[in-house]
Amino acid sequence: AQTVTQSQPEMSVQEAETVTLSCTYDTSENNYYLFWYKQPPSRQMILVIRQEAYKQQNATENRFSVNFQKAAKSFSLKISDSQLGDTAMYFCAFMKPPRSYNTDKLIFGTGTRLQVFP
Amino acid sequence: SAVISQKPSRDICQRGTSLTIQCQVDSQVTMMFWYRQQPGQSLTLIATANQGSEATYESGFVIDKFPISRPNLTFSTLTVSNMSPEDSSIYLCSVETVNTEAFFGQGTRLTVV
């Protein structure tokens, strides 16, 4: 079974600085997807970034980038130029495609609470 | 992308009663999912709801407690039955688009007293 581990329950960073959130996972699959979701106090789960395992190039979305190390089963999220609005819970998630009926599910880590200070 | 409207956003209910949560999507989707997020915890999948068939429940969740309807490709409901304080959680619906991205509703914060 697949598992996702986030070893940092809480992180803090000063505005405009850079922070990296860690995520490791365990799977025997070769092809899969990895995601980072953000959940602000509004409770809305927002997709931040995703990575396909077959792609060697690390995904980037504006200030958000990942360091995907497939052999090490590591998938960290780097937030550059942190903003106050980045304060939220961040969840790392794994999914084995295709997400067919009753066979695959989105597996979440336990989350990292990020606080951005002015 | 998909826009999901989930109702109610929050409710306070008496123990022993039931609450039905609605999830409306702005496009047709094959698979819809219901999650529970207990206070300070991660998301746990309750069940997968496919149109035209019975929902598939994860280990630890049963249909009598969490009946689900999926009458069409844009709508689903989750009922939390015979509630107890342990059911106090955030409940979220989710859909998956063709490019394997999951989108979530804004969640329903349920408090059972």
Q: What are B15-26's pLDDT values in tens digits?
A: 999 999 999 999
Tell if the CB–CB gap between B33 and A106 is shorter than 8 Å: yes
Kind of pairing between the strands at B108-112 and B10-13: parallel
* CA-CA-CA-CA dihedral for A8, B9, B78, B4, to nearest 10: -80
Tell if the CB–CB gap between A101 and B106 is shorter than 8 Å: no
Tell if the CB–CB gap between A108 and B43 is shorter than 8 Å: yes
Specify the pLDDT at position A104.
Answer: 59
Task: Judge contact between A113 and A10, C-beta under 8 A.
Answer: yes
Residue A6 has pLDDT above 70, yes or no: yes
CA separation for the pair B41, B38 (Å, rounded):
5
Of the candidates B41, B102, B107, the beta carbon closest to that of A106 is on: B102
**Could you give the percent of chain B with pLDDT greater than 70?**
97
Specify the pLDDT at position A100.
Answer: 53
B52 CB-near residues (< 8 Å, 6+ apart): B70
**Which residues of chain A does B101 touch, with a Cβ-Cβ cutoff of 8 Å?**
47, 50
Residue A118 has pLDDT above 50, yes or no: yes
Minimal C-alpha gap between B105 and chain A (Å): 7
Tell if the CB–CB gap between A108 and B107 is shorter than 8 Å: no
Of the candidates A33, A43, A44, the beta carbon closest to that of B100 is on: A33
| Section A39-58 average pLDDT | 90
Put simply, whether B7 touches A (Cβ < 8 Å) is no
Specify the pLDDT at position A102.
Answer: 46
Of the candidates B50, B94, B106, the beta carbon closest to that of A101 is on: B50
φ/ψ region of B64 (left if φ > 0, alpha if ψ in -120 to 50, else beta) reads alpha
Q: Lowest mean pLDDT of A105-109, B75-79, B82-86, name the range.
A: A105-109
CA separation for the pair B23, B2 (Å, rounded):
12
Specify the pLDDT at position A97.
Answer: 66
Confidence of residue A72 (pLDDT cuts 50, 70, 90): very high
Residue B30 has pLDDT above 60, yes or no: yes
Put simply, whether A68 touches B (Cβ < 8 Å) is no
A84-106 tens-digit pLDDT? 999 999 999 998 766 554 455 78
Of the candidates B42, B48, B103, the beta carbon closest to that of A108 is on: B42
Phi and psi torsions of A89, nearest 5°: -85, 140
Q: Lowest mean pLDDT of A42-46, B32-36, B67-71, B78-82, name the range.
A: A42-46
Tell if the CB–CB gap between A91 and B42 is shorter than 8 Å: yes
